[in-house]
Structure 1
């Protein structure tokens, strides 16, 4: 159905700041016209604008959450108060991972994805490794957990890139999977490829990609199998990389090189690959990532929550790696916070200000994230692109008096008022139209936590 939307401000491609009074027309889930109106023009004239829906505030392209573990949402507020590090947090995460089945995962992911929609996220990359039953026995449908995630995204009204993760060992030295980890594994990369390749959903809102969990989880001699599968199928490939110094140390001890070098040597890096975190790369690693045009997905709110550290975002961008953003563990679901944290963390690391422009942060949150997930036709308010429109209030207690260009340094997810995905309204007046997000989150988290 053709629609016309009048944005008070819209952030158009290749613009350093938003443009006032822009008419966006959509048809068949695509943007059919984008027309900045004349300055001082008759923006209130019904005779000129006809049935255009007015969007007060700032309208952005849809935001892309390039790295999600949906089941981690159950951990919010339950792990932040204690002492420890990434590894102690992981033990708690494994406890939750061991309790899920396809039905409970569907309910939890549906609520988590709907929360993302309310935050302006129109596409999510699910880094998925909960493949089998708790003891490692496959379900009757070996991809039942994948199917649950696809259905959850459909209910929430967002697009999904299911990044099916190969997870075979518990350590770089090849130690076997134990405890809850057993449900992650397929035995070897060939059996992973057979299972992943058998999942071919026909839904328009989903695409299937691949993931190497990490160099801890996939033996070096099997990395090329996963990378080759992704290349043959022309799909995105994601990998957790150097999130912790311990991972780097273990890789050097076993292979005599960094994880980045190991991935490069086995053909994993490249334009269709995204390294998630890349918090502790060496200078040589940064060069390898940049020269291969491997993307980097930063997840600042998770990286600070888990005490991972602060990665060299500016250096990686300057080396040639496109930057995208993810909410990862969902300690926070707010792409505005993730975006500004990229700049603010650089300030903490360097004790200098001004590393990323607002337009660069917008790119990371939108077009770069969509591209990393295989949706090259999304993330910009331009003709032919998917009709994703996210409108943000400029009159809240957080944004009042803030120029539109300052939205990524002032707004939060709570300021999102309307979300349109592929031309369909999913969120209106800040509320999801089909999912009661707080009620469903409370119910599903209580069921999982027990």
Structure 2
């Protein structure tokens, strides 16, 4: 994501500087990075771009399946489970082409920018044409996502996903043939053709322990470790997965991953919902991260994961919108705390500052961008501004810190989003994708017609 080398100045009416909200902060930006932070500037410097409201570091959506956005408002009808939801998801996946996926993802990533998200981790497993036939470009679907992110003005970590089997010892079913490269070696060969660029990192993912045979897990982990690339994995989202893993291997999914070298500080487990005490200790001791996706986990009735215990054990927390029941990282942060309050009937498991770090700096780190997520010299010039005069946020100027953002604001309050020093959202309107709601409507309608 290239940016002009000229220096520009942003004047922030209020800014969250990791420990407190400061009024009157001037950021100097050159070449997509913050080159100076000046506090106590009561008036905007001449020529500065003025951001009224509360400016936060850009938010990181650490877990996304872009095509699931087409399910919003349809899978909420009636009752069912994760497994019945999955059948509807497969039906949508069957209809996607590189062109239709590009149009949908472009609109979805633009929706994310409107919600203050500056980087997305796309957990990408829809690789091939229906029936499993590779496209002429074997990474046509991944390239469509990378291009969509560029056009929407956000950073992407493409977590190219190994998906080999439908279950322990089972070949892919008809729907899953699109996901499978045949084995992990073929996955690695295809994935190695993907190239990073200014706005895009290439990472890896194990879809789940049921989708990658145990003797192939090390291939995926080794590919990521050799490249120092992020590695993500769906982990213990459903008790049925745990039961099947115990039956097949006599151990939990977490233990299976540990035994095959998948866990570690470069790895993030997504969901981590149904864990034993030993699982939590394994994740914490290894420094494996945890990505919680509360709006999806409650939408699919998955359960509430042990986020407090995981963090206490040493697992860094980040957040994702996953199936995009909503796209709102502030809601994800709020939901993680509120879910824990319901489960324990006590309050205050995380400070607002800690929740905001999970939604920003720790999420960026999980996506391989540790230089993002803070408003400090040398950091990527990625930030977002929420209004302080909406019906949700109106009141005293924030004195405590991030509470107004985390416990009151929503994505609808985002007024500005800046990525690599470039204004992607200005005054609540996307500067690169005209009429994002219409773009979403058209892209989704094309998959339901």
Q: Does 1:22 align with 2:25?
A: yes
Match of 2:308 in 1: 314
- State how 1:143-162 maps to structure 2 within 5 Å: 143-162=139-158
Structure 2 unaligned residues grouped into runs of 5+: 1-5
402-411 or 49-58, which deviates more: 402-411
Contact residue 123 and residue 160 of structure 1 kept, 8 A: yes
1:135 aligned counterpart, secondary structure: helix
Match of 1:268 in 2: 262
Q: Does 1:232 align with 2:231?
A: no
Q: Does 1:178 align with 2:173?
A: yes
Q: Distance in 2 between matches of 1:389 and 1:95?
A: 37
Q: Does 1:71 align with 2:62?
A: no
- State how 1:270-289 maps to structure 2 within 5 Å: 270-289=264-283
Q: Distance in 1 between matches of 2:397 and 2:300?
A: 33
- State how 1:37-436 maps to structure 2 within 5 Å: 37=40, 43-44=42-43, 49-171=45-167, 173-201=168-196, 203-401=197-395, 404=398, 405=401, 406=403, 407-435=405-433, 436=435
Q: Distance in 2 between matches of 1:317 and 1:21?
A: 34
Give, in angstroms, the shift of residue 81 of structure 1: 2.1
Contact residue 402 and residue 410 of structure 1 kept, 8 A: no
Q: Distance in 2 between matches of 1:397 and 1:200?
A: 45
How many pairs does the alignment contain?
Answer: 439
Q: Residues 311-342 of structure 1: CA distance to partner in whole angstroms, max 9, x if unpaired?
A: 01111111100000000000100000000111
Task: Give the 4+ runs in structure 1 shifted more than 6 A.
Answer: none
120-129 or 18-27, which deviates more: 18-27
Q: Residues 290-326 of structure 1: CA distance to partner in whole angstroms, max 9, x if unpaired?
A: 0000000000000000000000111111110000000
TM-score (norm 1): 0.96
2:107 aligned counterpart, secondary structure: helix
Give, in angstroms, the shift of residue 21 of structure 1: 1.6
Give, in angstroms, the shift of residue 18 of structure 1: 1.3
Structure-2 change in CA distance of 1:148 and 1:386 (3 Å): same
Q: Distance in 2 between matches of 1:434 and 1:56?
A: 21
Q: Residues 254-285 of structure 1: CA distance to partner in whole angstroms, max 9, x if unpaired?
A: 10010000000000000000000001111111
Match of 1:440 in 2: 439
Q: Distance in 1 between matches of 2:331 and 2:182?
A: 39
Q: Does 1:9 align with 2:4?
A: no
Q: Distance in 2 between matches of 1:434 and 1:232?
A: 36
1:375 aligned counterpart, secondary structure: coil
Give, in angstroms, the shift of residue 82 of structure 1: 1.4
Give, in angstroms, the shift of residue 403 of structure 1: 5.0
Give, in angstroms, the shift of residue 25 of structure 1: 1.1
2:102 aligned counterpart, secondary structure: helix
Q: Distance in 1 between matches of 2:330 and 2:175?
A: 34
